[in-house]
Structure 1
Amino acid sequence: MDDCIIIGGGPAGLTAAIYLARFHLDIRLFDCGSSRAAQIPCTRNHAGFPEGISGKELLARMLAQAEKYGAVRELAEVEGLRLIEGGFGVRVGEREHAARTVLLATGVVNNRPAMPEALHDEALARGLLRYCPICDGYEVTDKRIGVIGTGSHGMAEALFLRGYSPEVTLIAPEAHALSDEEAATLDDARIARVDGPCGGYAIEDGQLALDTAEGRLNFDTVYPALGSVIRSGLAIQVGARADENGCLEVDDHQRTSVPGLFAAGDVARGLDQISHAMGEAGVAATTIRNLLAEQKPIRR
């Protein structure tokens, strides 16, 4: 039986792997290969990389560091999780692996605008499409910004980006669903409001263009504010508590409501940032080590 199985190979999962491997624990990491961090063309928001680093390069460095200390990563999707005597059963295909503890670092999946995948990836690589204003709002300072969304979530993202540029337009996926108060707040911030439906996306003259109810509009960058899907289903299978959106409830040591099951990164309630995910993973890994030591002394 492994001491810990980590599910998820993003910044949280790999940080935990580094810590746990250096604690001389027997661990295994399953990575389905879909970390959001891998989609980042270049982050200049991550401390220690003043010239920026791509998400893929950062993950590759972290994996190499974890493997240096004996961590084992397998590219595979975990399909099931159950409680067994002494821990958890983790199902991967036809196999089941047993572990005394499990750390869930499965993250979230962004809801994307309806555009062809090839166009989406090109726009993302060129900075014409962005998903994290906290990470890269600085890069769009004083540029023409479109935000696709509506309601309180769309309004909040548009207001946040208004701190970077005077030219922000909130575009509804279909028609706007804003209260009078929300509309007044946007008007007060001089954020334009345009109804959808959105469509006809294309890169034109170095900008991302799309059709709206007011005709075709072009932007230097577009932020989808369409929410995300939290990948917490495995934890919920074994009874872990989550909020109405699916974010797992954890305590200040990253413990879920199920003993021995931990969560770190975007799958848990908190700030969706690489640095925050790494910090949570360090806390979780240290708590896991101490929990295991209480059950059976760790000796060399």
Structure 2
Amino acid sequence: MDDCIIIGAGPAGLTAAIYLARFHLSIRLFDSGSSRAAMIPLTRNHAGYPEGVAGKELLRLMLTQAETYGAHREERRVTAIQPDGENFRVITDDGDYHARTVLLATGVVNHRPNILPEVHDPALERGLLRYCPICDGYEVTDKRVGVIGTGDHGMREALFLRGYTRDVTLIAPEAEHMLDDACAAKLDEAGIVRVDGPCGGWGIEGDRLALDTAHGRMAFDSVYPALGSRIRSRLAVAAGARANDEGCLEVDDHQRTSIPGLFAAGDVVKGLDQISHAMGEAGVAATTIRNLLSERQPIRR
């Protein structure tokens, strides 16, 4: 039986793996290969990388560091977590495994606009399509920016980006905007243009990403989808863990879920989309896991 099974090998899962391996604990790191961090072409706001670092390179370096201390990534898709007394049974597409604790670091999935992969992926790679204004808003300073969204969520993202550029257009994803008077007033006060959808006909035209709208074809230096995300908390919720209405797992200040021995870290807890935040939570979770196991049976060399 393993001391801990980590589900997810993004920044949170890999940080936990480094900590737990250095605690001389036996761990398994299950990964289905769907970390959002791998989609980042270059992040320039992650501390310690003055010239920026690609998401895949950051994950590679973190995995190499974890492997240095004995951790090993296994390509497995976990289908269920079942409490078994004070331990856990983890069911995968390649057999069942048992552990004293489990750490869920499965993150979230961004809702994408209706754009074909042959346009989406090169646009993402070139910075024409972006998903995290906190991470890369600086890169669109004084540029022409489109935000795909509506309602309160779309308004908030457009207003956030207004801190980087005057030229922000909020485009409804489907048809007419769904904005109450308060939202509309805030957008008008900030000078943010509103355009109805639907969005379609996406294409890369020179150095811009273009799309069709109810007001005709428009092109932008960068486009931000503000369509929300799906929290990948199903495994924990099915096991009985509490989550909020959005699906984010409820944890205490030591990353403990409502199920003893089941921990969570990163965007599955709070979809902040920040690598540093996910890593910090993982460090807290890993240390708490170590102390919990030591209480059950002293950890000694």
TM over 0.5: yes
Q: Which residue of 2 aligns with 1:273?
A: 274
Q: Please say if residues 111 and 228 of structure 1, whose CA atoms lie closer than 8 Å, have aligned partners that are also in contact.
A: yes
Alignment of 1:12-23 (within 5 A): 12-23=12-23
Alignment of 1:134-153 (within 5 A): 134-153=134-153
Correspondence 1:89 to 2:89:
yes
Q: What's the CA shift for 1:210? A: 0.3
Correspondence 1:76 to 2:87:
no
Q: What's the CA shift for 1:270? A: 5.5
Alpha-carbon distance in structure 2 between the residues aligned to 1:230 and 1:13? 16
Alpha-carbon distance in structure 1 between the residues aligned to 2:199 and 2:271? 30
Q: Please say if residues 106 and 233 of structure 2, whose CA atoms lie closer than 8 Å, have aligned partners that are also in contact.
A: yes
Alpha-carbon distance in structure 2 between the residues aligned to 1:118 and 1:286? 43
Q: Which residue of 1 aligns with 2:212?
A: 211
Q: Which residue of 2 aligns with 1:198?
A: 199
Alpha-carbon distance in structure 2 between the residues aligned to 1:222 and 1:297? 53
SS in 1 for 2:267: coil
Q: What's the CA shift for 1:86? A: 3.2
Worse overlay, 191-200 or 89-98: 89-98
Alpha-carbon distance in structure 1 between the residues aligned to 2:89 and 2:67? 24
- Cα offsets for 1:102-138 (capped at 9, x unmatched): 0000000000010111210000000000000000000
Q: What's the CA shift for 1:269? A: 2.3
Runs of 4+ off more than 6 Å = none
Q: Which residue of 2 aligns with 1:240?
A: 241
SS in 2 for 1:288: helix
Alpha-carbon distance in structure 2 between the residues aligned to 1:168 and 1:271? 22
Q: Which residue of 2 aligns with 1:186?
A: 187
Alpha-carbon distance in structure 2 between the residues aligned to 1:214 and 1:25? 59
Q: Please say if residues 250 and 269 of structure 1, whose CA atoms lie closer than 8 Å, have aligned partners that are also in contact.
A: no
Structure 1 residues without counterparts, runs of 5 or longer: none
Q: Which residue type is aligned with residue 227 of structure 2? A: L
Q: Please say if residues 86 and 261 of structure 2, whose CA atoms lie closer than 8 Å, have aligned partners that are also in contact.
A: no
Alpha-carbon distance in structure 2 between the residues aligned to 1:56 and 1:236? 29
Q: Which residue type is aligned with residue 49 of structure 1? A: Y
Correspondence 1:37 to 2:37:
yes
Q: Which residue of 1 aligns with 2:286?
A: 285
Q: Please say if residues 254 and 283 of structure 1, whose CA atoms lie closer than 8 Å, have aligned partners that are also in contact.
A: yes
Q: Which residue of 2 aligns with 1:67?
A: 67
- Cα offsets for 1:132-165 (capped at 9, x unmatched): 0000000000000000000000000000000000
Q: Which residue of 2 aligns with 1:120?
A: 120
Correspondence 1:252 to 2:247:
no
Q: CA RMSD in A?
A: 0.7
- Identical amino acids, percent of aligned pairs: 73
SS in 2 for 1:266: helix
Q: What's the CA shift for 1:94? A: 4.4
SS in 1 for 2:268: coil
Correspondence 1:222 to 2:223:
yes
Q: Please say if residues 127 and 221 of structure 1, whose CA atoms lie closer than 8 Å, have aligned partners that are also in contact.
A: yes
SS in 1 for 2:179: coil
Number of paired residues? 300
Alpha-carbon distance in structure 2 between the residues aligned to 1:229 and 1:92? 21
Alpha-carbon distance in structure 1 between the residues aligned to 2:18 and 2:179? 45
Structure 2 residues without counterparts, runs of 5 or longer: none
Q: Please say if residues 106 and 232 of structure 1, whose CA atoms lie closer than 8 Å, have aligned partners that are also in contact.
A: yes
Worse overlay, 83-92 or 155-164: 83-92
Q: Please say if residues 198 and 211 of structure 1, whose CA atoms lie closer than 8 Å, have aligned partners that are also in contact.
A: yes
Correspondence 1:165 to 2:162:
no
Q: Normalization by structure 1: what TM-score?
A: 0.99
Q: Please say if residues 86 and 260 of structure 2, whose CA atoms lie closer than 8 Å, have aligned partners that are also in contact.
A: no
SS in 2 for 1:5: strand
Alpha-carbon distance in structure 2 between the residues aligned to 1:129 and 1:153? 18
Q: Please say if residues 147 and 169 of structure 1, whose CA atoms lie closer than 8 Å, have aligned partners that are also in contact.
A: yes
- Cα offsets for 1:191-237 (capped at 9, x unmatched): 00000000000001210000001000000000000000100000001
